């Protein structure tokens, strides 16, 4: 079964979507199902087979590049013809940008089953960056025009508050996030967002409309954890929603590489490393983590906070660091975005992994930390309960004092840290790339059967 994947984020940028997609594509190929990945072109991308690069322009946000086909709909025709030539069996869309929209259009034009993975909490990101509602609404109008459909009407959840009438969704069979495999969601997804008004409500309405345009016609929607369903109402029948945790392979390293990482970043042998891996952005809870670190250092003077990841808002971060006591800021290490080998060495140097984000849908770094034998402290209730580690982390309240106390508990009690790390490693090891690919193949088969049944009743995709 040949899938064609569409993503708006790709190398050299590194994030959870890129990791998940490349892991899936490689595992599918290993299982005899090679596919095609459609990405925005970047001058620093490595040469790879089975990757179709589209003309793209930098948008000035987080090193993202956007395909300008959206501004000229006719530009899609040649790309879709090129995709059709490889005879794909299914379209799999991973992101909500212009390339993702092109995937939706490709499925319609070629009459292919459409699978979407909901990797990103659009509402949380739009709120974190206060994206102007007017700009979002203009995007919705353009998306609808390119798909040739009316602009979606506001959803009841957006207009009248959270939709709780039917109760929570329930996972079925092997769908629980601490197991491997996929499962369908039965019941209705819940919208736990509080009532909103003004600009926040308009942003949410635009994001709901975007989700309706992208997801509403999908034959299957994959969510990586129940955290998605606990945060947002998806405009998809519950029997088309599949819960599939992403499989992660261990990042191997050596003692020499770990020592080189420590030496290269001025980390002394006696330093106790508290690690974070991911974008250094406001939606990731970096402000909370930095605020907590001053208290961590007071309880453990040898502590070092190491932040590994791309920095896209240097002025914002500089403002946070200026508010700290210089003795605290001097103990914070910023490495920038690193290669997988260097990230593996960072895990090897860490004693505790601290994660303060409350916007992640799966946080693959938690699995990576678990596989590396590093105990995890996090603040997200949904990820703690339903993520791949399934409770094998220490959860605290999202408050600086509580987060600091959790990190100190593991730094100062090595036996407790080892026990927790062992449990996390065992849970993370259940989610392998091969099992992930097998579960997604089951989703593809389900989507293909559903698409065939609808087409038999006369539904068209063009």
Concatenate the DSSP letters of all residues of 274-332 into one string: EEEES-BSGGGTHHHHHHHHHHHHHH-TTEEEEEES-BS-HHHHHHHHHTS-HHHHTTE
Same domain, 206 and 134: yes
Alpha carbons within 13 angstroms on the beta-carbon side of residue 101 total: 25
Do 264 and 236 belong together in one domain?
no
What is the spatial distance between Cα 376 and Cα 395, in angstroms, rounded to a whole number? 8
Counted domains in the chain: 2
Q: What is each CA distance from 263 to 256, 260, 267, 381, in whole angstroms?
A: 10, 5, 6, 36
Tell whether 159 is covered by a domain: yes
Per-residue pLDDT tens, the chain, 462 aa: give them: 999 999 999 999 999 999 999 999 999 999 999 999 999 999 999 999 999 999 999 987 878 899 999 888 899 999 999 999 999 999 999 999 999 999 999 999 999 999 999 998 888 878 777 788 999 999 999 999 999 999 998 765 444 333 332 223 333 333 333 344 455 554 444 555 555 568 888 999 999 999 999 999 999 999 999 888 888 889 999 999 999 999 999 999 999 999 999 999 999 999 999 999 999 999 999 999 999 999 999 999 999 999 999 999 999 999 999 999 999 999 999 999 999 999 999 999 999 999 999 999 999 999 999 999 999 999 999 999 999 999 999 999 999 999 999 999 999 999 999 999 999 999 999 999 999 999 999 999 999 998 876 665 444 444
Nearest to residue 104, comparing CAs of 80, 125, 72?
80
Classify residue 462: in a domain, yes or no.
Answer: no
- Whether residues 229 and 319 share a domain: the answer is no
Residue 461 lies in a domain: no
**439 close to 26: Cβ distance less than 8 angstroms:** no
Nearest partner of 292 among 400, 152, 397, 446, judged by Cα: 400
Closest residue by Cα to residue 369 from 344, 340, 333, 406: 344
Q: Residue 432: its pLDDT value, please?
A: 97
Q: Are residues 328 and 445 in the same domain?
A: no
3-state secondary structure (DSSP) of residue 139: helix
As to burial, measured by CB atoms within 10 angstroms (0-12 exposed, 13-18 middle, 19+ buried), residue 366 is buried
Q: Is residue 420 part of a domain?
A: yes
Question: Model-level pTM?
Answer: 0.89
| Residue-number span of the structural domain to which 403 is assigned | 255-429
**442: in domain:** yes
Ramachandran category for residue 259: left, alpha or beta (phi over 0 → left; psi -120 to 50 → alpha): alpha
- E-only strand ranges, 30-187: 36-40, 51-54, 57-58, 65-66, 90-93, 114-117, 170-171, 185-186
Q: Classify residue 265 by its DSSP letter.
A: T
- Shared domain check, 57 and 132: yes
The DSSP bridge pattern shows strands 185-186 and 170-171 to be antiparallel
In eight-state DSSP terms, residue 155 is P
What pLDDT does residue 458 have? 43
Burial of 166 (0-12, 13-18, 19+ CB in 10 A): exposed
**Residues 351, 218 share a domain:** no
Residue 42 contacts by C-beta under 8 Å, 6 or more apart in sequence? 10, 11, 12, 13, 53, 56, 65
181 shares a domain with 98: yes
Classify residue 404: in a domain, yes or no.
yes
C-beta of residue 280 within 8 angstroms of C-beta of residue 367: no
Q: Say which residue the tokens 């509602």 belong to.
A: 133
Does 273 lie in the same domain as 190?
A: no
Same domain? For 17 and 34 the reply is yes
Q: What was the pLDDT predicted at 275? A: 99
Helix (H) or strand (E) holding 264: helix 255-264
Which pLDDT belongs to residue 198? Answer: 81
Q: What CA–CA distance (Å, rounded) separates 456 from 342?
A: 52
The DSSP letter of residue 244 is -
Asked if the structure places residue 10 within a domain, the reply is: yes
The CA distance from 153 to 205, in Å, is 9
Question: Are 91 and 203 members of one domain?
Answer: yes
For residues 187 and 77, state if they share a domain: yes
- Are residues 264 and 278 both part of a single domain? yes
- CATH number for the domain harbouring residue 220: 3.40.50.2000
Residue found by looking up tokens 């499925």 in the block: 107
Tokens for 258, please give them.
């770990």
């Amino acid at each position: 079964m040949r899938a064609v994947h569409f993503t708006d984020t790709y190398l050299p940028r590194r994030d959870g979507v890129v990791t998940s997609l490349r892991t899936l594509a490689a595992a599918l190929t290993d299982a005899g199902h090679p596919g095609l990945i459609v990405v925005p072109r970047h001058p620093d991308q490595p040469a790879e087979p089975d990757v179709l690069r589209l003309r793209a322009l930098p948008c000035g946000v987080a090193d993202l590049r956007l395909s300008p086909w959206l501004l000229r709909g006719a530009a899609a025709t040649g790309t879709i013809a090129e995709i059709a030539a490889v005879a794909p069996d299914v379209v799999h869309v991973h992101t909500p940008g212009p390339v993702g929209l092109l995937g939706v259009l490709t499925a319609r034009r070629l009459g292919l089953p459409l699978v979407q993975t909901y990797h990103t909490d659009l509402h949380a990101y739009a709120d974190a960056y206060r994206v102007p509602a007017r700009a979002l609404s203009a995007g919705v109008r353009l998306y609808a025009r390119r798909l040739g459909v009316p602009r979606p009407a506001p959803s009841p959840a957006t207009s009248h508050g959270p939709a709780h009438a039917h109760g929570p969704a329930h996972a079925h069979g092997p769908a629980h996030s601490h197991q491997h495999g996929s499962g369908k969601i039965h019941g209705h997804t819940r919208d736990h967002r509080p009532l909103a008004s003004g600009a926040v409500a308009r942003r949410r309405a635009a994001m709901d409309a975007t989700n309706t345009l992208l997801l509403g016609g999908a034959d299957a929607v994959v969510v990586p954890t129940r955290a998605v369903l606990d945060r947002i109402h998806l405009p998809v029948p519950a029997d088309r929603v599949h819960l599939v945790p992403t499989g992660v392979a261990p990042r191997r390293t050596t003692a020499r590489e770990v020592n080189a990482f420590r030496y290269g970043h001025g980390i002394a042998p006696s330093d106790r490393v508290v690690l974070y891996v991911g974008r250094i952005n406001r939606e990731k809870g970096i402000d909370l983590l930095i605020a907590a670190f001053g208290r961590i250092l007071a309880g453990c003077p040898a502590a070092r906070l190491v932040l590994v990841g791309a920095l896209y808002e240097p002025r914002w971060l500089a403002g946070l660091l200026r508010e700290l006591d210089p003795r605290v800021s001097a103990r914070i290490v910023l490495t920038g975005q690193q290669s997988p080998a260097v990230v593996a060495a960072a895990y090897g140097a860490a004693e505790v992994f601290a994660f303060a984000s409350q916007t992640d849908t799966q946080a693959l770094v938690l699995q990576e930390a678990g596989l590396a034998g590093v105990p995890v402290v996090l603040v997200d209730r949904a990820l703690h309960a339903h993520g791949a580690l399934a409770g094998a982390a220490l959860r605290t309240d999202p408050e600086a004092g509580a987060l600091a106390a959790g990190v100190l508990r593991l730094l100062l009690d090595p036996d407790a840290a080892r026990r927790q790390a062992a449990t996390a490693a065992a849970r993370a090891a259940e989610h392998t790339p091969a099992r992930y690919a097998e579960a997604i193949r089951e989703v593809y088969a389900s989507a293909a059967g559903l698409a065939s049944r609808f087409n038999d009743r006369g539904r068209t995709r063009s």
